[in-house]
Chain A
Amino acid sequence: MMDSDFDYEIENQDFSAIGKRGIWRIDGREKASGSAIYTADIKLPGMLYARVFNSPYPHAGIKSMDTSKVEAFPGVRAVLRSDDPEIKDKVVPGSYGAPWYVLPDWAMWEGEPIGLVVAADSEQICDEALKLVEIDWDIRPFITDIEDAQKPGAPELHNKVPNDIYDAVNENNPYASAFSELFRIAEGHRTFEQGSVKKGFAEADKIIEFKARRRMHTWAQPEIPSAICRWNGGYPEIWVKHQHAYEHKQVMPVWFDVPMNKVTLHVPYQGAMFGGWNWMNWSTVIHYISALLSKRTGKPVKLCFNRRDDFYGGALDCGTYEFKVGAKKDGTITAVAIKSDYVNGPTAAEANTGIYHFIENSRIPNLFKENNSVVVNRGPVTAVRCEQLANTLCFNMVFSHVAAELGLDPTEVALKNDGYDGEDSEYLTECKKRFGKPQRDSLRECIEAGKKAIDWDNKWHTPGTRKLPNGKMHGIGFVWTHEWNSKRGAGTVGVLFEPDGSVSLMAQRADTGLCAETAYCQIAADELGMRYEDVFLNSHKDSGFAMMTPDGSCNLCTNGWVIRRACRKAKRKLLEFAALGYQEEFHSYPPAFEGCGPEDLDVKDSVIFVKANPAISKTVKEVVKEVMCVQWWKHPQIYDWSWKQTGAHVDPTGEASEELIDPNKRPHFCRQAHFMEVEVDPETGEIEVTNVVCVNDVGKAINPEGVQGQQYGGVYMAVGRGKHEEVILDEPTGVMLNGNLLDYKITTILDCGPIDPIIVETAMGYGPYGANGIGENVADLTSTLLGPAVYNALGVAVDDFPITPAKILKALGKI
């Protein structure tokens, strides 16, 4: 069967598991009953615990230190110092291959892990012992605010790993990735221009200028991270909490003199991390430390972080934004220019960050972007659900301000500007044809569904004009953009028929809760013709095959293809075996269906049958049961495997075109639209989110409850980001003030009104069956939806996120 990326197969397919509701999550029972094991739960015989010293200063170096009292503390088994000859100034490949210090002796932010690590009988002993270190500090000037950092006289700061060291490490790392570049080139200014904004502004009826700001927010992962290593003779065994678990197996040979086939990898369940933690360079490097300490002590070592440690890092949108937009009276946008200063680097690495969705999603011809990285004494920023945050912030701000200032319905402004790369919907129509996609107007469908669900026509009003009987101001906001799809990713999977007729999908993957493993089993069930309950993926095992990680909303769109391909191959083998049996020189095994060819057979509900006469049938179990009787085997196992990389796409007409092979030149056809209602108390500045409608054209929902879970979860995370999530530092000392879950508030069940998760399925995605990703985009796009909603309520914009009551009162001139 043909298996191209344009084979979307939605119509005329009678799926038994794909797209069905009420499918049981394969991880459900374990998780609900408390038997699911996470790295945090693991305790090995004789295990030592290790903790790293955190710098008390935001910018300081260790001139010298005395660790004798630490070493003498009862229960301490080993101390690793940053001046240890094995690690002094050592930089190794970290997460995504991005180089990082094993253990630096100077800090760029308060709390940075530096100087020494203690391994002891318990975490408490480590913490007590670490208090006894005596350090002679070189305290350096620091700056934590991005605006202050640009004032004359501010301390000049640079990326922590200098570029020459960076390059040298990358050169020796066979697994260095494109992503590690982000951290290398992040300093300074970059600009991007498409068309001419000067011309665009001249054509406009109105020029709209405004500013926005996003303060530092973070991931706050539920499971506090840790890294476990045990050397069994010369063979390390590691337990990894990380989205890229396999990467750890790859770096062990780069770090230590051990071949990859002698590294045993365990990937327990993962208490989510939303990208964030797993992009931190030392999220991988901590495994270097646990491995080194384990080697030295001869004991298993678990390097533990604590809750506070997990707050030292932020998201890529943290920064300041200045906008200038030109628009016609009817809402047609003629030019957009944005200048952004981002905290600590990587966001500024690409010149078009912030303007990207205008290219991907609109017909606006004239675009300009200036990106600047400003290094301050705060933790690194990384992709926290997700790297598109700066893009969606800019997109949301521009569209909501244009609509509000022109007094237009924002849904109309969206439809007026929808397109791709400066081209209008006619161009998209052409592309859809070229890519073999159906002709549907995704944005219009999403907007219509959402408007109906939220009763938009009765509720939308011009900004600041609706006071409710309870004295609060009613606001309603709308945002939109394209869907996320399979722009990157590769994966491998094996499919094996077990002798009892069940099917094992063999691959290693990190489960962060996306329900993806269940979706893989649904795809496998339909592709193989097996019952869903007969298929299982034990992703925690290191089977040698690694699937696409849960990153970039790309995993189902990658792994779905991989599973589909592998299952089609395995099914073919099964039917060949059923029809032809097995022959070799000294051995043969009779066919289960004498006189048939493989093409005469098919499988449904785990039963193989003759297509021309379905009454002639045998269960898969009957056919494969003698597959392997260990010593007296009868025939070989039936299995196959497949691999696929997504993102690169060949022209379906067969004429390879450069344009189509570049994933960035692949137009998005699917859209999403989100609506939020708020009540703002003008006396207290309190905001209540009373109603949210999410409409996502996911192309095809493989697991609808899983999709809705991401819609719900995305909104809850976004409401927190919009209203209260901020990592606050004490300005005079640079010390973090709210590194715990009492003071850094994430949303509770009470913090958001009802959410209506609407799924649109146009089959226009690039994933299998026309699917798109869903993991990140709702959280991403709705994080700044509170801005338009509050603007609509008050008639003044308060685009400084999080939008706290104090900022509202200030905007209203009350304080």
Chain B
Amino acid sequence: MAVAAKPGYSCPYCATSFNTVDDLKDHVLKVHGTEALPRPEGYVKLTVNGQAWELEVAPNWTLFYLLHDQLGYTGAKTFCDRGACGSCTVIIDGRPVLSCMTLAIECDGKNIETAEGIAAAKHPLIEAYVKHHAMQCGYCTPGFVVTAKALLDRNPDPTVEEIKEALAGNLCRCGTYPQHPIAIIEAAKKVLAARSENTPA
């Protein structure tokens, strides 16, 4: 005689049964301290320029491929394709990172910023880059902007030497290098001025 299956939902971790999905979710969260359901392989949750994404990534996807080809953040560019040029730089949790050398699957829970986000937040770097012609063909430019933003976040008042040091990993075949410190110093001044305006005396 066939045994009727127990109605309800069983916990994937300990097999306890529940009558409703909500009960199961409460149990998993409380007892196992994790998401209600096991994540499919390759599932990542990340934030790009303040937007939350939940997606499944293949294990061989680089962060560059995810951002550029899947999500359409074209600010990350491939120049060298192997960690030598900095044109694919994005900021992950405050640090500049080469997205061509980072696997997307490692970015679960990360907060990512790209040039598009820096521009959308009206960071003075963009204006300074345009004004001081810190670009020619522009292919490497977003990578420089991202590296510069990460620098200003950790060092709001850098010297020319510190800027050069920070940009030493960004290649520009058009040779726009001397124009970057000028733009970055101007942007830094604007960020500092805005900060002091917002700080109560």
Contacts and interface: CB of A to CB of B under 8 A. Distances in A.
Interface of A: 22, 24-25, 27-38, 40-41, 43, 124, 220-224, 269-272, 274, 306-307, 511-515, 705-706, 708-709, 712-717, 740-742, 746-750, 752, 754-755
Interface string B110-146: 0000111011100001100111111111111110010
B118 A33 contact: yes
B179 A222 contact: no
Contacts of A717: 173, 175
A788 to B, nearest CB: 21
Contacts of A224: 78-79, 81
Contacts of B116: 33-35
A272 B137 contact: yes
B119 A29 contact: yes
A27 B178 CA distance: 19
Interface string B23-41: 0000000000000000000
Interface stretch (B4-12, B13-21, B67-75, B189-197): B67-75
Contact of A755 (B60, B126, B136, B178): B178
A709 B173 CA distance: 12
B130 A220 contact: no
Point out which of B73, B82, B136, B179 has the most chain A C-beta atoms below 10 A from its C-beta: B136
Given A41-B68, A269-B137, A741-B84, A34 B74 contact: yes
B167 interface: yes
A240 B15 CA distance: 59
A558 B68 CA distance: 37
B130 A272 contact: no
A653 to B, nearest CB: 41
A514 B137 CA distance: 7
Nearest to B163: A749
B76 interface: yes
Contacts of A706: 133
B57 to A, nearest CB: 15
A737 to B, nearest CB: 15
A142 B178 CA distance: 44
A222 B140 contact: yes
Point out which of B118, B135, B170, B173 has the most chain A C-beta atoms below 10 A from its C-beta: B173
Contacts of B138: 27, 30-32, 36, 269, 271, 513
A749 B174 contact: no
A342 B177 CA distance: 33
Contact of B136 (A34, A38, A513): A513
Given A30-B138, A750-B164, A41 B133 contact: no
A25 B131 CA distance: 7
Nearest to B116: A34
11 contacts: A29-B119, A29-B126, A32-B125, A34-B119, A222-B140, A224-B79, A307-B82, A513-B138, A708-B133, A709-B136, A755-B178
A22 B180 CA distance: 15
A515 B174 contact: no
Contacts of A34: 73-76, 114-116, 119, 142, 145
Contact of A513 (B118, B137, B169): B137
Given A25-B135, A34-B73, A35-B75, A513 B177 contact: no
B97 to A, nearest CB: 16
A42 to B, nearest CB: 9
B176 interface: yes
Point out which of A24, A709, A742 has the most chain B C-beta atoms below 10 A from its C-beta: A709
Interface string B145-189: 100000000000000000010011111111111111000000000
B80 interface: yes
A38 B78 CA distance: 11
Point out which of A34, A269, A513 has the most chain B C-beta atoms below 10 A from its C-beta: A34
B48 interface: no
B122 to A, nearest CB: 10
Nearest to B142: A34
